[in-house]
A and B are shown apart, each in its own frame.
Chain A
Amino acid sequence: MSNTSLPIIALTLGDPAGIGPELAVKLVARKDLMGQARVVVVGDEWVWEDAQRLTGLRFNLSRIDSFADPRIVSSESPLFLPTQSVQKSEIVPSIASAAGGKSVLQVLRFCIAAAIRGELDAICFAPLNKLAMKMGGLGYDDELHMFAHELGVKGYFCEFNVLGQIWTSRITSHIPLRDVATTIDKNRVKDATRLIYQALLQAGFAKPRIAVAALNPHAGEGGTCGREEIDVIAPAIRECQAEGIIAEGPYSADTIFLKARAHLCDAIVTMYHDQGQIALKLMGFEKGVTVQGGLPIIITTPAHGTAFDIVGQNRANPGAIAEAFGLAVRMAAHVRRSKIAAKPA
């Protein structure tokens, strides 16, 4: 395969006060991963420089001015696209700040704009800090809503949490539990099931198997302990099955993750935040990956945060960002292949 067919991935450094820049440097050191894509590291020179000094790793990456630079087409090694998003004097390591948040927002928006112009296939971003982003003027519930808005997404979108071979999504997220039962409807269950099915295909699963969680104890015990399973979830699953999606359930939420661990399914659609998060966090989700689902481009990030407690110590583990990058590559390559296949001869 010539490298002009490899996906173009933007790698951003995350919040400059966190471990993101350190992780990005350690990731670029992974030649095996860098060889799978055409990588553009996007960030401020001084942040990149400091992170190289911290890790003792040094790369002479060619500088480019924009994603339109023709060197992206054929470059064999990662390129560096410098931004000017924040001054070094504005950042105190390990402290969330408006300046840090604004820097993250500016770099991500810059990458999104390039994606809209068709200049890149995926973004893998190093950890950002939600509080800093809000201080820096995010203006949305979270970064996913910002991406969806800037990319003009009209359809269903949601976050996927990926831990090893287990994918999960949730029908409702950051809403009071009181509102969960009334928010869940057949269309949401169907949309979420379809979306994660498509994402798994992109990630290389030939026949993704989706398990859908129940809402009530023991999956409602035949309607004696809640009716949402009978009235909403089961009909939605049947309609997905009719579309050819391999979906099953509703399964009792207290054992559904055991099915995933036993590889009886590839993905779990949960109904509310804690239903998935309790199990994921017990299984070590800090090693996992978050995929922003339902967007026209692939965006991934490690599940863990900026880890302010270990900033500047060269102790940050790049395992999760390597997973996030690898997933972005796989999914973007799949999308590229299907676009090529769809082109008329």
Chain B
Amino acid sequence: MANRLAITCGDPAGVGPEVIASWLAAHPGDAGEVVVLGPGRWLAALPLSDDQRIAIGLEEFAAEPGRPTGEGALVAWAAMTRAADGCKTGEFAGVVTGPVSKGWLSRIGYPHPGQTEFFAAQWGGEPTMAFGGGRLRVVLLSWHIPLREIFVQLTEANMARAVRAADELARADGIDRPRIGVCGLNPHAGEGGILGVEEQRIIDPILQKLRPAHPGLSRSEPADTLFARQLRGEFDVVIALYHDQGLAPLKAVDFDEAVNITLGLPFVRTSPDHGTAFGIAGQGVASARSFGNAVAMARRLIAHRAGCRS
């Protein structure tokens, strides 16, 4: 059946399988609209019909929670590949991915720093990493790069991409005229050039160029108060210029709720914003809230894109 959402298991030894199972158990009405990809034995125990199960890997494979293996990482990778292919053929409308172990994936030759880059390579397009699902909406201009290399990322193309993503994220949540706040790079957004010149020389001129198409776009604002201002309702979404600038406030405010969203690609991909949590896998204590939010977020984005096309 076309336009179902693909759900990948993530690392079979992590908390992915159990949060998926607990979400399915808690949302029997939603289960008909998803297809789950993972180890066959695990799938057999889930409350799904046969056409909603796509078994990955050897039939007898069973992961031991908390004990990751290369074989498990291979299953995680293969599930992502199958889900990405299914989007290209029209089988799936988008993907919600379970958490993977970057360490184990890189050991078996996975060449990407994360899942975001994998889907970009499979589908084509320039990805943008974004987060939502809780009280904050955050879009990153750059992510997996050393702090001393942020400066070369401050380009008009990158900012335009981030602004498009911020706009889409807010609109998918029903906001018609998104107010987009942009973090400054330097303390106090450079304080008029005294604490750094990138705001005046690079960032603000780029934002000025983009503003006609996005009237709600701010100038560069002091980053240390911008997230609190978003919480107070002054902005709908914030663009952070680097990883920790956006992720530190997000995790402080929305630790259990946040969803990792890949925008800018032909298909929607979301993921719970937590890791494999091998330390607690199999104990039944992992929260499925972020995963549930990831499913809901993927559906909103898919519906929003369908609405834009029609």
Interface residues of A (CB under 8 A from B): 173-178, 180-182, 215-218, 220-221, 224-228, 252-258, 261, 272-275, 277-283
Contact indicator B147/A282 (Cβ below 8 Å): no
- Identify the B interface with A (CB < 8 A): 102, 113, 143-148, 150-151, 185-188, 190-191, 195-198, 223-225, 227-228, 231, 242-245, 247-253, 255
Residue in chain B with minimal CB distance to A280: B224
* Chain B residues with CB under 8 A of A280: 224
Instruction: Report A-chain residues with C-beta under 8 Å of the C-beta of B247.
Output: 217, 254
| Cβ contact within 8 Å between B248 and A176 | no
Residues of chain A with a CB closer than 8 A to B250's CB: 254
Interface of A is mostly: helix
CA–CA, A315 and B242, complex, Å: 39
Q: How near does chain B come to A35, taking the closest CB pair, in angstroms?
A: 36
19 CB < 8 A contacts A-B: A174-B188, A178-B196, A181-B146, A182-B148, A215-B147, A221-B113, A224-B113, A225-B144, A226-B148, A227-B146, A254-B250, A255-B248, A256-B248, A261-B252, A275-B244, A278-B224, A278-B227, A279-B248, A282-B228
**Residues from chain A with Cβ under 8 Å of B150 in the complex:** 177
Contacts between chains A and B (CB distance < 8 A), count? 110
A274 touches B224 (CB 8 A): yes
A274 close to B198 (CB less than 8 A): no
Question: Which chain B positions have C-beta within 8 A of A227?
Answer: 146
CA A272 to CA B184, docked complex, whole Å: 14
- From B231, which residue of chain A is reached at the shortest CB distance? A282
Chain A contacts for B151, CB-based, 8 A: 178
Give the distance in Å from the alpha carbon of A146 to the alpha carbon of B102 in the complex.
49
Instruction: Check B225–A279 contact: CB distance below 8 A.
Output: no
Contacts of B185 in A (CB 8 A): 177
Q: Look across to chain A and name the residue whose beta carbon is closest to the beta carbon of B253.
A: A282
Per CB-CB distance, the 6 closest pairs between chain A and chain B, nearest first, are A226-B146, A176-B196, A277-B224, A254-B247, A217-B243, A273-B187
Give the distance to chain A from B200, nearest Cβ to Cβ, in Å: 12
User: Which residues of chain A come closer than 8 Å to B251, judged between CB atoms?
Assistant: 254-255, 258
**Also in contact, A278 and B195, with CB within 8 A (given A216-B147, A225-B144):** no
Using A217-B145, A217-B247, A252-B244 as known contacts, list a sample of 11 further A-B pairs with CB atoms less than 8 Å apart, ordered by residue number in A: A174-B188, A178-B186, A181-B148, A182-B148, A217-B147, A218-B243, A221-B102, A254-B248, A256-B248, A274-B223, A277-B224
Contacts of B224 in A (CB 8 A): 273-274, 277-278, 280-281
Q: Are B248 and A257 in contact (CB under 8 A)?
A: yes
